[in-house]
Amino acid sequence: MYQIKKIAKHTLHRNKLAKFAKNIVSMRKISFAITLMLCLFGCKNKNSHITIKGDIDGLNNEMILVYGADKNGDALDTIYAKNGKFTYKAPIDTFTQVTLHFKNMEECVIFADKGDKIKVSGDASSLDLLKVKGGDLNKEMNTFKESITDISKATSRLKNELYTSYVSGNEKKYNDLLQSPELLKAEKAIKEKASAFIHTHTFSPISLYLIDKYFVQVENPDATKIKELVNIMSGSLKDSPYMQQLSKTINTDEALAIGKQAPYLSLTNKEKKIITLYDFKEKYLLINFWASWSTPSRKENSQIASLYRRFKANHFAILGISLDVDKNKWEEATKKDSLSWEQVCDFSSWNSPVIQQYGIEALPANVLIDPRGKIMARNLKDKELTKKLEELFIEDTSVK
């Protein structure tokens, strides 16, 4: 799964909701920064600024989050638009990519250099199509946006419903909309446009952005397609930190392909006992990656608990690996969620070697391993996970 980590470890894509500022940071890590372009803020020369002016019809009074090269993954700044208008200044010392995040999960990327004066305009009903004036790269980006205008506008109603259902907590409607033929068709068409642009702009930093947005940060990334796009990048882009990290992640993903041997792991449980895969020999093992602070993880714990009760009488086991950093919160969560299976944690969160070995880029996540220690499936969700276990095991009907 190519959910590439940004230098900033925060979350985006399908998990941006609840309180806007909080959830954009907490639920899913966005892509690895395109670091050859990023060096925002911290500039000592106060005369070197970029100025971004916005005039967006229908935006009204809204908070906009500003992202750049922050090392912690948090928003670097906040813009408060008044009646759709705003002026924002920031000190920079090099060519920079800035991304504006709006509350409805849309974003607007801006490329700027010292002294640039940028103007952002458009309509709040199509925030993904905002025009950015100032600089050749922004002009190129506008050209790409023009190529997808009809496709994007045709699905504006669906995207609005998607956001509304997510914010309201209507998971069924949200998941149904994600899989709607109309939306899937539009996503495919936009990917084709992005691919065409990338093939004709192999030296452009915009191509890196498009690779990340439309091919990496998606639910089911196409490994073959990503490889193709990575291989055609030219010049310094090919050697950029982003591309190096992407290539590394592709290799990790290939090492975790179905049928491959599961990576070795050694972690300590609550009783300070070292747990390894050998402890589950001759069993089917579901490794569940979660954290006490991850709301989606906590929701999924109830389903996993139900599956454990149904199938534990078979040669089936579960190993919970937490990304917590606070021991007390970890133990409280395992108790509150009634996680009776083996639980381990090294309190290193995303920096844990095991998390990196297993290519975990979002929570919740899971890996199903057969009795020979080979990977059978990854990131099975909801009905997929239940169906897979029902295929493998005979249910213990005495358990309710």
The domain spans of the chain are 13-255, 266-392
Matching residue, tokens 């300070």: 272
**pLDDT, tens digit, 9 for 90 and up, residues 352-366:** 999 989 999 889 999
> Stretch 154-171: mean pLDDT, rounded?
89
pLDDT (0 to 100) of residue 74: 58
pLDDT (0 to 100) of residue 47: 53
Maximum average pLDDT range among 68-77, 93-102, 128-137? 128-137
CB atoms within 10 A of CB 172: 8
CB atoms within 10 A of CB 315: 14
Residue 261, strand partner residues: 374
Residue 49, Cβ density class (10 Å: 0-12 exposed, 13-18 middle, ≥19 buried): middle
pLDDT (0 to 100) of residue 46: 45
pLDDT (0 to 100) of residue 253: 82
Amino acid at 360: I
Percent of the chain with pLDDT over 90: 60
pLDDT (0 to 100) of residue 379: 92
Percent of the chain with pLDDT over 70: 85
The yes-or-no verdict on residue 9 having pLDDT over 70 is no
Q: Whole-model pTM above 0.75? A: no
Position with higher pLDDT, 81 vs 217: 81
pLDDT (0 to 100) of residue 396: 59
Cβ distance 299 to 336 under 8 Å?
no
Least confident of 131-140, 202-211, 248-257, 308-317: 248-257
Distance CA 208, CA 206 (A): 5
Distance CA 33, CA 243 (A): 10
> Stretch 325-333: mean pLDDT, rounded?
96
Distance CA 153, CA 158 (A): 10
Position with higher pLDDT, 338 vs 14: 338
The yes-or-no verdict on residue 197 having pLDDT over 70 is yes
Q: How many CA atoms lie within 13 A of 58 on its CB side?
A: 8
pLDDT (0 to 100) of residue 133: 97
pLDDT (0 to 100) of residue 350: 94
pLDDT (0 to 100) of residue 218: 82
Query: Quick one: 266-392 is in which CATH superfamily?
Result: Glutaredoxin (3.40.30.10)
Bin 280: left if φ > 0, else alpha if -120 < ψ < 50, else beta.
alpha
**pLDDT, tens digit, 9 for 90 and up, residues 105-142:** 899 999 998 899 999 999 999 999 999 999 999 999 99
Amino acid at 399: V
pLDDT (0 to 100) of residue 235: 80
Matching residue, tokens 């959910």: 3
pLDDT (0 to 100) of residue 1: 30
pLDDT (0 to 100) of residue 395: 66
Distance CA 190, CA 186 (A): 6
pLDDT (0 to 100) of residue 127: 94
The yes-or-no verdict on residue 161 having pLDDT over 70 is yes
Cβ distance 248 to 225 under 8 Å?
no
Query: First and final CA of the chain: distance in angstroms?
Result: 34
CA 285 to chain centre: 26
